[in-house]
Structure 1
Amino acid sequence: MKTTGITFYILVSFFLISNSIQAQFALDAETGALFTGYNDVRIPGDQGTFFSLKDDIQSATTGFIRIRANYTLKKRHTFSLLYAPLKTIGTGKVEKDILFNGKTFLSNTVLASTYKFNSYRLTYRYRIVDRPKFKFGLGFTAKIRDAGIGLSSATLNSIKTNVGFVPIINFRLWYKLTDQFGLVLEGDALAAPQGRAEDIQLAVSYNYSNNFDFRLGYRILEGGADNNEVYNFSLFHYASLGITYTFNP
């Protein structure tokens, strides 16, 4: 509740400031279908049993929603807040014992899995190129991940949670196709020895009016970490539909 109140306060503040200095404030929502490409797990990372939340325990296709608030100053400086929850649930039998987070789940028993990877991001991006038909910006994202992987059977239950900070490079490219249609490539991405993270969307945008823009596209979310505590690499596919409402066109 406290986090929600702080977020609401920030959004209202952005809106009031944008009105006072003629900046631009926009709200964006995205929804659609989420598919698991792969999701490989071993916990602990150096001693646990390797298993898949795609092949061994099948995670169901699910819906998703992402909400973003954008504040743009002088057409080039964009600040944004993103809330991007992710949760998949699966069931299945594995033909081997699974040592997971200190507990052993016996082979050929029905297992239920829960995978959570909620993301909270604060982004600053500077528009380097600002032409009528082509725009490109580059920036930095501070990401807080709220992750959890859980397994349960009729007799056992265990969950591994992790909250952490991840710095990522942000980019956005827009190309004008016609007066109303455009092509958008945007995302956050970074690789390091400890792991990697990519969240990238390719979409066709449609300018309906001065206030409303729509887009239809494909998003990929991929990444993971490999250390003594956790081994987890995952890939998710998004079929997405987005809408943006601009308050100060």
Structure 2
Amino acid sequence: MFDFLPAFRIHVLAMALVAVPLLPDAAEAAWGSEKPANSIDLEAAVLRFTRNDVRIPGDGGTRFALDDLTGSSGLSARLHATWWWNERNALRLTVAPLGISGSGLTDQEIDFAGERFAASERTRGEYRFNTYRLTWRYRLHRGERWDWAAGAAVLVRDASIRLTQGTLTAKDDDLGLVPLLHAHGRYRLSEKTTLVMDFEGAWAPQGRAFDIGLRAERDFNNGWYGHLGLRTLEGGADNKDVYAFAWVYFATLGLGYRF
């Protein structure tokens, strides 16, 4: 994993632990209440890449599987903070770092970002795809069991791919802004257990991005809740500058607080 990820997780956890004592008294809002409770939520995950294909530049580089170098398994974390300003409208901030690194032997010459890497040489690969999102959510329906919402999000991506072979290094950075559609659904299984679906994504001829999560939430006392679930992240871009597509699965575990 990237060296900064453990530190990032420590900082996120520290912020969450410091913030919780400063929060208002825990909300005991009933299901389907006029105004949902605000929340802060920390999610940890074990991840696995099933695809991480790269060609840079897109019209002249060598296509290769980056996960042959980095490996396919790792850890990640993300932070959600949701604020409802009335019974129908909410804003959610998401901070989702993602990174993996490792070394392996190349099975071919690789032309990458203006450099040529020899075949059958140990090469280090590094992959980073950090995202920061602001989501607007509009509550469409609330009922005794079902709650549905839809909206839109703005995603800022901070991505980087680096190869190193001996003293030879090449790197491609990408900082961009992406608009996404958003959908959110909740189904009450029991008084304390809720099934939650969350979707954000977009598609265009040049690329796509999809983030889909499904989890079960269990309410504890005094506003606290825990959750367990699955998430998948898939997408990439295909243009003259870059070809890069990845597909990642996450098994998630988290803790949240409503206020």
Question: TM-score band, normalised by the shorter chain?
Answer: 0.7 to 0.9
CA distance in 1 between counterparts of 2:120 and 2:205 reads 36
Matched, 1:51 2:64: yes
Matched, 1:41 2:41: no
Structure 2 residues without counterparts, runs of 5 or longer: 1-10, 28-34
Q: 1:77 matched to which residue of 2?
A: 89
Q: Given the alignment, which residue of 140, 149, 158 partners 1:128?
A: 140
Aligned partner letter, 2:121:
T
Aligned partner letter, 2:42:
A
- Note the C-alpha offset of 1:215: 1.0
CA displacement 1:22-78 (0-9 Å, x = unmatched): 984321100021111110000000000000022x32425221110111101223211
SS of the equivalent of 1:89 reads: strand
Q: 1:223 matched to which residue of 2?
A: 235
CA distance in 1 between counterparts of 2:83 and 2:189 reads 25
% of aligned pairs identical? 35
Q: Which aligned runs of 4 or more in structure 1 are off by greater than 6 angstroms?
A: none
- Note the C-alpha offset of 1:175: 0.5
Q: Are 1:48 and 1:101, in contact at CA under 8 Å, matched by a contact in 2?
A: yes
Q: 2:152 matched to which residue of 1?
A: 140
With the length of structure 2 as denominator, give the TM-score of the two structures.
0.85
- Note the C-alpha offset of 1:181: 1.3
Matched, 1:245 2:257: yes
With the length of structure 1 as denominator, give the TM-score of the two structures.
0.88
SS of the equivalent of 1:75 reads: coil
- Note the C-alpha offset of 1:168: 0.2
The correspondence of residues 99-248 of structure 1 with structure 2, limited to 5 A, is 99-247=111-259
CA distance in 1 between counterparts of 2:197 and 2:117 reads 43
CA distance in 2 between counterparts of 1:47 and 1:186 reads 37
CA distance in 1 between counterparts of 2:110 and 2:97 reads 28
CA distance in 2 between counterparts of 1:57 and 1:107 reads 13
- Note the C-alpha offset of 1:210: 4.5
CA distance in 1 between counterparts of 2:72 and 2:203 reads 28
SS of the equivalent of 2:38 reads: strand
Q: Are 1:110 and 1:153, in contact at CA under 8 Å, matched by a contact in 2?
A: yes
For structure 1, which segment, 59-68 or 237-246, has the greater mean C-alpha deviation from structure 2 after superposition? 59-68
Q: Given the alignment, which residue of 96, 102, 114 partners 2:108?
A: 96
Q: Are 1:94 and 1:109, in contact at CA under 8 Å, matched by a contact in 2?
A: yes
CA displacement 1:170-203 (0-9 Å, x = unmatched): 1111111111112111021111111100011011
CA distance in 1 between counterparts of 2:81 and 2:216 reads 20
SS of the equivalent of 2:102 reads: strand
Q: Are 1:53 and 1:90, in contact at CA under 8 Å, matched by a contact in 2?
A: no
